[in-house]
Amino acid sequence: MQRCVDARTGTSIVHVRPDDRFITKRELIRLVGITEPTFALLERTGRFPARIRISRGRVAWLHREVIHWLYARPQHMTLHRRVEARIG
Protein backbone atom coordinates (compact mmCIF):
# COMPACT_ATOMS: atom_id res chain seq x y z
CA MET A 1 0.00 0.00 0.00
CA GLN A 2 1.19 3.46 -0.78
CA ARG A 3 0.10 6.77 0.65
CA CYS A 4 0.47 9.98 -1.27
CA VAL A 5 -1.08 13.43 -1.23
CA ASP A 6 -3.40 14.80 -3.91
CA ALA A 7 -1.72 18.02 -5.06
CA ARG A 8 -5.07 19.69 -5.88
CA THR A 9 -6.91 18.99 -2.62
CA GLY A 10 -4.09 18.25 -0.17
CA THR A 11 -5.86 15.09 0.98
CA SER A 12 -4.13 11.79 1.54
CA ILE A 13 -4.73 9.12 -1.08
CA VAL A 14 -4.42 5.48 -0.07
CA HIS A 15 -3.75 2.80 -2.65
CA VAL A 16 -5.20 -0.43 -1.31
CA ARG A 17 -4.23 -3.80 -2.75
CA PRO A 18 -6.87 -6.48 -3.37
CA ASP A 19 -5.41 -8.66 -0.59
CA ASP A 20 -5.35 -5.89 2.04
CA ARG A 21 -7.41 -6.49 5.18
CA PHE A 22 -8.95 -3.72 7.26
CA ILE A 23 -9.16 -3.98 11.03
CA THR A 24 -11.54 -2.17 13.35
CA LYS A 25 -10.61 -0.12 16.42
CA ARG A 26 -11.61 -3.05 18.65
CA GLU A 27 -9.34 -5.42 16.71
CA LEU A 28 -6.56 -2.84 16.75
CA ILE A 29 -6.66 -2.45 20.52
CA ARG A 30 -6.67 -6.24 21.01
CA LEU A 31 -3.81 -6.77 18.57
CA VAL A 32 -1.54 -3.94 19.67
CA GLY A 33 -2.27 -4.06 23.38
CA ILE A 34 -2.24 -0.29 23.95
CA THR A 35 -5.11 2.01 24.83
CA GLU A 36 -7.02 4.16 22.38
CA PRO A 37 -5.61 7.45 23.73
CA THR A 38 -2.07 6.08 23.35
CA PHE A 39 -2.42 4.94 19.76
CA ALA A 40 -4.33 8.15 18.91
CA LEU A 41 -1.39 10.20 20.22
CA LEU A 42 1.10 8.06 18.32
CA GLU A 43 -1.02 8.39 15.18
CA ARG A 44 -1.26 12.20 15.47
CA THR A 45 2.51 12.45 15.85
CA GLY A 46 3.16 10.17 12.86
CA ARG A 47 4.48 7.26 14.91
CA PHE A 48 1.60 4.88 14.23
CA PRO A 49 -0.15 3.83 10.98
CA ALA A 50 -2.82 6.33 9.98
CA ARG A 51 -6.46 5.38 10.04
CA ILE A 52 -8.39 5.18 6.78
CA ARG A 53 -11.88 6.64 6.52
CA ILE A 54 -14.07 3.88 5.11
CA SER A 55 -17.28 5.90 5.23
CA ARG A 56 -18.66 8.92 7.03
CA GLY A 57 -18.81 7.24 10.44
CA ARG A 58 -16.33 4.38 10.06
CA VAL A 59 -12.55 4.18 10.15
CA ALA A 60 -10.18 1.25 9.94
CA TRP A 61 -6.48 0.45 9.76
CA LEU A 62 -4.63 -1.75 7.33
CA HIS A 63 -3.70 -4.97 9.09
CA ARG A 64 -0.32 -5.28 7.41
CA GLU A 65 0.67 -1.71 8.33
CA VAL A 66 -0.13 -2.39 11.97
CA ILE A 67 1.80 -5.68 11.94
CA HIS A 68 4.75 -3.95 10.29
CA TRP A 69 4.63 -1.25 12.99
CA LEU A 70 4.61 -3.91 15.72
CA TYR A 71 7.62 -5.73 14.31
CA ALA A 72 9.53 -2.49 13.71
CA ARG A 73 9.29 -1.43 17.37
CA PRO A 74 12.46 -1.93 19.42
CA GLN A 75 10.88 -4.34 21.87
CA HIS A 76 11.85 -7.62 23.41
CA MET A 77 11.13 -10.78 21.38
CA THR A 78 8.15 -11.60 23.61
CA LEU A 79 6.23 -8.92 21.70
CA HIS A 80 6.86 -10.78 18.45
CA ARG A 81 5.69 -14.05 19.99
CA ARG A 82 2.55 -12.32 21.32
CA VAL A 83 1.78 -10.88 17.87
CA GLU A 84 2.29 -14.24 16.19
CA ALA A 85 -0.07 -15.85 18.71
CA ARG A 86 -2.73 -13.21 18.03
CA ILE A 87 -2.54 -13.34 14.24
CA GLY A 88 -2.18 -17.09 14.36
Write the CA distances from 87 to 37, 41, 70, integer angstroms: 23, 24, 12
Closest CA to 12 of 22, 2, 1, 3: 3
Q: How confident is the model at residue 5 (pLDDT cuts 50, 70, 90)?
A: very low
Distance CA 10, CA 78 (A): 40
Q: H helices within the chain, ranges in order?
A: 25-32, 36-44, 63-72, 77-87
Q: For 17-66, what is each residue's pLDDT tens digit? A: 778 899 999 999 999 888 889 888 988 898 899 888 888 888 999 998 99
The pLDDT score that the predictor gives to residue 27 is: 93
Task: Count the Cβ atoms, other than its own, within 10 Å of residue 39.
Answer: 22
39, amino acid identity:
F
